[in-house]
Amino acid sequence: MIRIRSLRRSRSGVASVLGMVFLVAIAFTTIVPLFLYVNNVNNLYNQTAEEMREFDHKRSLEALTVYIYPIQNGSALNIHIRNKCSLNVKVVRIWITVNKTCSTLTSIPSLESEIPPATERVITGVPLPPGEKAIIVKITTGRGNVFIAEPNPMSVIGGSWGLSEPFTITVSMASQKPGWMRRTIYVEYIGMKWNKTVEVTQLVTGGYAYASVGVPITGTYKILIWDNKLGYKHDLIFTDTVTVSYAIPSPWVYVPSWP
């Protein structure tokens, strides 16, 4: 009788051990893989969220200036693109609307590579239909930004385009530290009585301040720039000449940092 009770107790102990083994096996085959799966999903989500935040940040930094101007008596168009940001920018598509008829340009040889910072690309000789036309040009970048060309729209009547100041001189002024920049820019045409003064007040956060000065015709212009931190036209900090042409209708002038 004592032997039978001992045998029953040993069988009960074996059953408990087997039950625990099955429970551990179920845990390892279901719960642990589920935990690892959820952990991998969380890691993938965090990685994707971080990549999207970085992508959105880079997209917010993109800054392109786009200018258009007609050539060949209005039968063709040149597109001038300037990268004003600190990132390489890839232009993937150009949208051209002529009198409400839209077309696209892709696989452009001059835009096969990215545009480095502070550099320019020019797309030349884009055909235009004859007659009077209103032209709107937009470009799309690889990060999804859309930039509209200036002027917007551009009206072409015959071989001329309807703007009093169709050309632009862009002045890029460096600054060693962030803060407010106050400058006076004076532009004078050499050979004709024409001049223009532009007052600049900008909060500089990215190392540069920018100003665009519209000019009426091609030719050579004299530029004088004063710093106004200590009063109006207190310090003459920069003088130079720049040439505006149909090949380069929107030249850039770089002004070094002033103490």
Give the pLDDT confidence of 72-121 residue by residue, as tens digits.
777 888 888 889 888 999 999 999 999 888 989 888 888 889 999 988 88
Bond into 130 cis (ω within 30): no
Q: Is the peptide bond before 153 cis (omega within 30 degrees of 0)?
A: yes
C-alpha 217/C-alpha 249 separation (Å) is 9
Task: Please answer whether residues 75 and 130 qualify as being in contact, where contact means their C-beta atoms are separated by less than 8 angstroms.
Answer: yes
- Walk across the sheet containing 167-174 and list its strands: 208-215, 167-174, 252-255
Does this model's pTM top 0.85? no
Asked if 140 and 59 touch (Cβ cutoff 8 Å), the reply is no
Q: Tell me what pLDDT residue 137 has.
A: 93
Q: What is the pLDDT of residues 23-81, one digit of tens each?
A: 777 766 777 677 777 888 888 888 888 888 888 888 899 999 888 877 777 788 888 88
Give the span between the Cα atoms of 200 and 186, in whole angstroms.
Answer: 11
Span 6-23, average pLDDT = 62
* Alpha carbon of residue 121 to chain centroid: 14
Instruction: Give 53 or 160, the one with higher predicted confidence.
Output: 53
Express each pLDDT in 220-242 by its tens digit: 999 999 999 888 888 999 999 99
Tell how strand 252-255 and strand 167-174 pair up. Answer: parallel
The pLDDT, as a whole number, for residue 114 is 92
Cα separation, 33 vs 248, whole angstroms: 64
Handedness of CA 87, 93, 98, 99 (dihedral sign): negative
